[in-house]
Structure 1
Amino acid sequence: MATDDKNDRARVVTYVSTNQKTEWTEHADELGMSQAEFVRTMVQAGRNDFTLESSATVEPDSNTADPGGGDLETQVLEALESNGSLSWEQLVDSLSADFEERLEACLESLQATNQIRYSGRNGGYTTIDS
């Protein structure tokens, strides 16, 4: 869809299990989000994870249309639009709400593929030498 209108929208339909929908609904409610906003936010968060390896370690210029894909400016605006005024702490909480869950899932995946392991002797996670 080629358009410059930021308000132009297209409908996306998907099907998930009843249990998955219930989880998403509960999580959206906890975050004070609509289900649509929750799904959009989670998809963008997932897309950001896929682009992190190939992107620069320094955040691109904020004046670009979409720095880093799913840019921080968009996330801040969405948080403020859905919640009204937010303090610094509330913004941080809103933008990082699912980070621990995502990190845990990532660590479990890396352990399952034998790329990392937890080492008490080394005081934390470590890579597994090939």
Structure 2
Amino acid sequence: MEESVETTRKSVKTYVPEYQKDEWQSHAEELGMSQSEFVRTMVQAGRKGFDSSLEQPRSGDANPGGNGLETRVLELLSSDTYSWDELLETIGDDIEARLEETLSDLQDENRIRYSGRHGGYTVIEDTDGN
């Protein structure tokens, strides 16, 4: 199998006005994306507008209006031949990385926490009981 683009995840933080964050979150929900995925996608789309010669490595994430798994499988198969088990292992690694990043993002946003007492991750309730 051919080596793929480095996919180690790193955190990027920025500060925006509350109304803008709310708009981004709303738009992300409309597209069925996490807020992190939405911001990543919008930044990459914006970069293409600045310099069309930039090579944009694909992260394997879902894309608006598309099938992320289908795209990832086609990308893999365009560069090499994979068995069922190899594809499953490669795609599984991508899903594990996305889950880890999503859980980290939700914890950073104080929307979930890990609770040994409850045996895993739990949603943090709002002060108004939601």
TM range (shorter): 0.3 to 0.5
TM-score in terms of structure 2 length: 0.48
